[in-house]
Amino acid sequence: MYRDIWERLSDEDRPIILYGTGNGADKVLDEMAKRGIAVQGIMASDDFVRGQVFRGFTVKRLDDHAKELSDPIIIIAFGSQRSEVIGNILSVAGRYTVLCADVPVYGDNVFDRDFYEENYNSLQQTRSILADEQSRKVFDGVVDFKLYGELSSLTEIFTGKDEAFSNILQLSSAESYLDSGAYRGDTIDEFLKYTDGHYRHITALEPDRRTYEKLREHIKDLTDIQAFNMGLWSEDTDLIFNSSLGRGSSIDKCTARHNSTDRRKSSELTAVTCIDTLYKRRPLSYLKMDVEGAEEQAVIGGAQVIARDRPKLNIALYHRSEDIFRLPLLIHSIRPDYRLYLRQHPHIPAWDLNLYGV
């Protein structure tokens, strides 16, 4: 049995084809190069092949690769939650060996066997504090998926958002809601769906200036709502924000204002605040946090309010390899009486893994 997917790929005699282009594929190719794993080609879905070149490879359709390469092994190097895309990936997996190389969205820690062994105690402690059997099943499945890249480890633990909102969060009509990483308002729409449009108050944060303007337009007809062109962090300050990745835009390398001498054109100074400032004099009952790798800092900046109010939690748990154990353990250290749940919503790779707390 291989120690992890990287060891397996290192031993492969079959040609390796990377499925995908873009930032995720760049990261996978860089990791393969570092480990001495050769790639023989790049593929994309039929509708996206235009003869383009990516990292020195002409991007081809799978059928074209199959004519040139015997029995290739295909590595997924992009992400999607769209059912038709997931269906297409699983269809390809029915004909070829398909694996998914897990690389972090942010940070440098790859979840390989060495990382697993180094953090074994924290991983086991996290598993032990989860509130139900489904959460432990999700935990085990995600860890296996990250180590070995087998799609079945992931698809077997998919559950929809309805289950989490209905069985775990059970939002009321009087929630005081903080949406951090509000983007264009889609998660506000989600919140309104599950509260039947009733709430006490909404605060929405979006650090990207252009996206913030679209958010403002989207919520203009709502009452008892305030929106800020800000990010969430462990303190009130200014940070460099890299807006080059669209929805995945983030605080750029956690660079503080006084270290901002080397800025790219896509980066700009952005104000950030913390939960303890926003809710110092008012209650918080529901916290949604999807802040592109800054979740740990954001929780640290909300420790007082989380301890005081014990808000319902909906926190993204997939941006950094260490998030799967560091965030649940941090929440547990602040309020040990939280019931913590993991749910993996349909997405390949495991980019829609959420931590729910009540």
pLDDT digits (tens, 9 = 90+) for 278-294: 999 999 999 999 999 99
Domain that holds residue 6: 1-101
Query: Residues 86-131: pLDDT tens digits?
Result: 999 999 999 999 999 999 999 999 999 999 999 999 999 999 999 9
Q: Answer yes or no: is 155 within a domain.
A: no
Domain boundary among the residues 78, 101, 124 is at: 101
Q: Residue 93's pLDDT is what? A: 97
Rounded CA-CA distance 114/91 in Å is 32
- 132 beta partners: none
The answer, yes or no, to whether the previous bond of 336 is cis (omega within 30 of 0) is: no
Q: Is the per-residue pLDDT at 250 higher than 80?
A: no
Domain boundary among the residues 85, 101, 117 is at: 101
Which domain CATH number covers 69?
3.40.50.720
Pick the closest to residue 61 from 48, 72, 70 (CA basis): 48
Pick the closest to residue 195 from 171, 225, 218, 224 (CA basis): 171
pTM, two decimal places: 0.92
Q: Answer yes or no: is 109 within a domain.
A: no
Name the one residue in this structure whose structure tokens are 């059970």.
170
Mean of pLDDT values over 231-241: 93
Q: Answer yes or no: is 50 within a domain.
A: yes
Q: Is the per-residue pLDDT at 342 higher than 70?
A: yes
**26 Cβ contact partners less than 8 Å away, ≥ 6 residues apart:** 55
pLDDT band at 263 (very low <50, low <70, confident <90, very high): very low
Strands 201-205 and 176-180: parallel
Domain boundary among the residues 58, 81, 101 is at: 101
Q: Answer yes or no: is 183 within a domain.
A: yes
Say if residue 76 is in the same domain as residue 206.
no
Beta sheet of 340-344, edge-to-edge order? 225-228, 201-205, 176-180, 286-289, 312-316, 353-357, 340-344
**Mean residue pLDDT across the chain:** 93
Pick the closest to residue 262 from 276, 248, 252 (CA basis): 252
Q: Answer yes or no: is 126 within a domain.
A: no
Q: Answer yes or no: is 121 within a domain.
A: no
- Please give the torsion angle defined by the CA atoms of residues 150, 91, 157 and 81, in that order, rounded to the nearest 10 degrees: 110
Q: Residue 266's pLDDT is what? A: 59
Of 6 and 240, more confident: 6
Say if residue 165 is in the same domain as residue 63.
no
Assigned token pair, 262: 């080397």
Say if residue 207 is in the same domain as residue 317.
yes
How many domains is the chain partitioned into structurally? Answer: 2
Name the one residue in this structure whose structure tokens are 């006084």.
258
Mean of pLDDT values over 232-260: 64
